[in-house]
Structure 1
Amino acid sequence: MPPDTASHAESAAIWRLFTGLLLGAAGLAGLLVLAFVAALDPYGLRAAPGRVPGPIMDLNQRFMYPQVVRSGAYDAAVFGTSTARLLDPRALDRAFGGHFANLAMNAATPWEQTQLARLFLARGPATALLFGLDAPWCEADADRKRLTFRAFPPWLYREPLAWTAMFHQWNQQSVEIAGRALLHRLGRLPARIRGDGYEVFTPPESRYDAARAAAHIHGDAPLPEASAQGAPTAQGAPAARKAPTEADPATPALPWLDELLGLAPADSRKIVAFMPVNVAAQPEPGSAAAAREAVCKARVAEIARRHGATAVDFRIPSSVTRDDTQYWDALHYRLPVADRIVSALRRVVAEGRDDPDGFYRVLAAPRAAAP
């Protein structure tokens, strides 16, 4: 064989060996990463009754709450958005019995809330369910606005989990969360939030600044429909020509609520509550948005009555929702308000009537709760 040919063949062999070693090393590294993530199980794929769920280490609750459900440690749950996250499960335990988890997720769409509630109901009998409702449940396009910019892992919401679920964790985010879980096991990093899903995500009460809160409330609140354009209102904002009221507005998310309440055991306690946002975030009285919301609330009341559920409305003008000092911003109330909501829900279930002070209205109450 000529020297040039031999040299070329030797070089090609070396490159083949190098490529093989490189691919083999990359494959081995990938398998080691997968093994590391599988061993730490950051999203609780192995969570089951009798097995203590892992720590909640991810910022995105959509990835973490399925393992809380699969642990079987909770027979009651709160579903909703951040407007329900300050309801302390331990206070709800004392009010209603059972063992509550707070599974409300930041900015969760009705569809996302439905997926988590279905998973919870599929895992076993529920003694109590509390749905904290917000405006998106009444929107005409709720069935199309299913996701947000936050990632949602549908593979974690299948019951039972598919065997391929492990491979969905083969990514940088899962490695990071697994690393946090390892640091937690080593005592170097605390869990992000409590194991029952509860977190005080608002700043410490000692740092409350009423002026700053008022700026957030009136600067961040959605512009009321009746003050979008036109003549100035009493607050100085231009008033709009009122849009025509819909005779039969579409509320495509409400059949999901109907289905969920139907899946719950007949003897379980079922509560549906419109959460108390500041009046700055409520629709302008007399507007088309207010009329749509009134129809939505009436439909929720009908659904609740059909399933023996209690429906209560905190999303009304009241001494609480008109008081800016009760809020951090237009949507998020302070901790004392959360305690007051739990006490109010207990009273609603016991008495089945409106609050004399106007904090809430009872939309539906089971006959057993009536005085």
Structure 2
Amino acid sequence: MTRPAPPSDPRPDPAPPAAWRRFLGLALGTAAAAGAAAFVFIAAMDPYGLRAAPGRRPGPVMDLNQRFMYPQIVRGGAFDAAVFGTSTARLLDPQALGRAFPGRFANLAMNAATPWEQMQLARFFLGRVRARAVILGLDASWCDPAADEKRLTFRPFPPWLYGEDAPWRGLLAQWNLQSLEIAGRVLLHRLGRMRERIRGDGYEVFTPPEATYDAARAAAHIRAMAAAQLPTAPQPAAPGRTFPALVWLDGFLAAAPSDALKVAAFMPAHVAVQPRPGSPEAAQEAACKEEVAAIGRRHGATVVDFRIPSPVTARDANYWDALHYRLPIAERVLDGLRRAVATGADDPEGVYRVLARPPQG
């Protein structure tokens, strides 16, 4: 009698150890090769201009986060004058500034940049070139008693791009997917398939086209921003550090060449988001402006205040929202800066006040 065969085991035979080792080796080798290829590609495309230097033109600006892109403009050495600030200063055209003031200008103002971030770029600029002119566009953040605790925003800030050893540290620091994407954009630009995101001097008209301006929509934006900015009692500050950001401003102006043109200007925010006259917030801002004026006088800077109720700031039609003025107003601000530096006098129409000017003689 034939004995029945034992039932077969439905489970597959385990793979031999050698097969697993081959698979693991192939996977790791492929990953290493891909990583190495990405590293070489990023280094070759140099998306953040680590190799930029005087006489070596920096690559195209292909990212919208100016914190990553503006150091290469500084490294290129083509500009010996610059504007720093937030988006409230980004519409100041460097070419027009170059016609009004000495120097070859770049606009290095960054969207929503904190005073600390602005100073990292500004000090980096002073360390790379002998500046002929520096213009700082100030806003309410400079008068914040908590500015030292608000150094960064949700936007990434790359400190490795602002050091002297950036070309070496950057090779590894930029080895990531974001840099790979920007490197790809650089390649597409070189192939003529993608336009440069921002002009080579940092300037960009980031507001919508003037032909699309909608006054009713702009007014709604202004009121919404004003409603969101609920008044709060000024924060008590520790003795000696009422406005910590102004310590950085003082240090920056002290480090600038003594013969350079130095301008600090409060940008013209709409009156809807300016402090209410007589309020504690207004008193705090006035004290801040007085301190900025004292710093300006100490370092031979012109200090101009556009952040006041004026024919510009009281008119909704001059703004896209409560902070961002239209292109014709940018031209008016630029002309106001030129006249303030030349005359040292307040604007006859009340658009700006001159809080400090260099000694005459």
TM-score > 0.5, shorter chain as reference: yes
SS at structure 2 position matched to 1:362 = strand
Q: Deviation of residue 10 (structure 1)?
A: 8.4
Structure 2 vs 1, CA of residues 245 and 358 (structure 1 numbering), >3 Å: closer, same or farther? farther
Show the counterpart of 1:195.
200
State the one-letter code of the partner of 2:191.
Answer: L
Q: Deviation of residue 191 (structure 1)?
A: 0.3
Q: Residue 81 of structure 1 contacts residue 106 of structure 1 at CA under 8 Å; is this kept in 2?
A: yes
State the one-letter code of the partner of 2:68.
Answer: F
Establish whether residue 136 from structure 1 lines up as the match of residue 128 from structure 2. no
State the one-letter code of the partner of 2:221.
Answer: H
Show the counterpart of 2:353.
361
Q: Residue 122 of structure 1 contacts residue 159 of structure 1 at CA under 8 Å; is this kept in 2?
A: no
Percent identical residues: 65
Show the counterpart of 1:177.
182
State the one-letter code of the partner of 1:257.
Answer: L
Show the counterpart of 2:344.
352
Show the counterpart of 1:304.
296
Unaligned 5+ segments in structure 1 are 1-7, 229-241
Structure 2 vs 1, CA of residues 187 and 123 (structure 1 numbering), >3 Å: closer, same or farther? same
- What are the superposed Cα offsets for residues 280-312 of structure 1, whole Å, 9 maximum, x if unpaired? 110111111100000000000000000000000
Q: 1:266 aligns with which of 235, 258, 265?
A: 258
Distance (whole Å) between structure 2 residues aligned to residue 85 and residue 224 of structure 1 = 23
Distance (whole Å) between structure 2 residues aligned to residue 219 and residue 36 of structure 1 = 46
- What are the superposed Cα offsets for residues 135-185 of structure 1, whole Å, 9 maximum, x if unpaired? 000001000001111110010011242622111111111011000110000
Distance (whole Å) between structure 1 residues aligned to residue 44 and residue 235 of structure 2 = 58
Distance (whole Å) between structure 2 residues aligned to residue 89 and residue 313 of structure 1 = 20
Show the counterpart of 1:125.
130
State the one-letter code of the partner of 2:283.
Answer: A
Q: Residue 243 of structure 1 contacts residue 287 of structure 1 at CA under 8 Å; is this kept in 2?
A: no
Distance (whole Å) between structure 1 residues aligned to residue 150 and residue 80 of structure 2 = 29
Show the counterpart of 1:41.
46
Q: 2:331 aligns with which of 323, 339, 361?
A: 339
- Worse-matched range after superposition: 154-163 or 273-282: 154-163
Name the TM-score, length of structure 2 as normaliser: 0.93
Q: Residue 225 of structure 1 contacts residue 284 of structure 1 at CA under 8 Å; is this kept in 2?
A: no
Unaligned 5+ segments in structure 2 are 1-12
- Worse-matched range after superposition: 359-368 or 104-113: 359-368
Establish whether residue 282 from structure 1 lines up as the match of residue 274 from structure 2. yes
State the one-letter code of the partner of 1:61.
Answer: Q
Distance (whole Å) between structure 2 residues aligned to residue 273 and residue 23 of structure 1 = 56
Show the counterpart of 1:232.
none
Q: 1:328 aligns with which of 291, 315, 320?
A: 320
Establish whether residue 253 from structure 1 lines up as the match of residue 245 from structure 2. yes
Structure 2 vs 1, CA of residues 178 and 270 (structure 1 numbering), >3 Å: closer, same or farther? same
Q: 2:157 aligns with which of 143, 152, 160?
A: 152
SS at structure 2 position matched to 1:67 = helix
Q: Deviation of residue 97 (structure 1)?
A: 2.3
Q: Residue 225 of structure 1 contacts residue 287 of structure 1 at CA under 8 Å; is this kept in 2?
A: no
Structure 2 vs 1, CA of residues 152 and 243 (structure 1 numbering), >3 Å: closer, same or farther? closer
Show the counterpart of 1:68.
73
Distance (whole Å) between structure 2 residues aligned to residue 301 and residue 253 of structure 1 = 14
Structure exhibiting the larger radius of gyration computed from Cα positions: 2
Q: 2:220 aligns with which of 215, 218, 232?
A: 215
RMSD of aligned alpha carbons: 2.0
Show the counterpart of 1:93.
98
Show the counterpart of 2:55.
50
Q: Residue 234 of structure 2 contacts residue 284 of structure 2 at CA under 8 Å; is this kept in 1?
A: no
Q: Residue 214 of structure 1 contacts residue 324 of structure 1 at CA under 8 Å; is this kept in 2?
A: yes
Name the TM-score, length of structure 1 as normaliser: 0.90
State the one-letter code of the partner of 2:65.
Answer: N
Q: Residue 353 of structure 1 contacts residue 362 of structure 1 at CA under 8 Å; is this kept in 2?
A: yes
Q: Deviation of residue 277 (structure 1)?
A: 0.5
Show the counterpart of 1:79.
84
- Worse-matched range after superposition: 246-255 or 33-42: 246-255
Distance (whole Å) between structure 1 residues aligned to residue 88 and residue 252 of structure 2 = 20
Q: Deviation of residue 14 (structure 1)?
A: 2.0
Q: Deviation of residue 196 (structure 1)?
A: 0.4
- What are the superposed Cα offsets for residues 250-296 of structure 1, whole Å, 9 maximum, x if unpaired? 10100000000011000000000000010011011111110000000
Distance (whole Å) between structure 2 residues aligned to residue 206 and residue 247 of structure 1 = 49
Structure 2 vs 1, CA of residues 10 and 150 (structure 1 numbering), >3 Å: closer, same or farther? closer
SS at structure 2 position matched to 1:273 = strand
Show the counterpart of 1:237.
none
Structure 2 vs 1, CA of residues 251 and 56 (structure 1 numbering), >3 Å: closer, same or farther? same
Distance (whole Å) between structure 2 residues aligned to residue 281 and residue 116 of structure 1 = 27
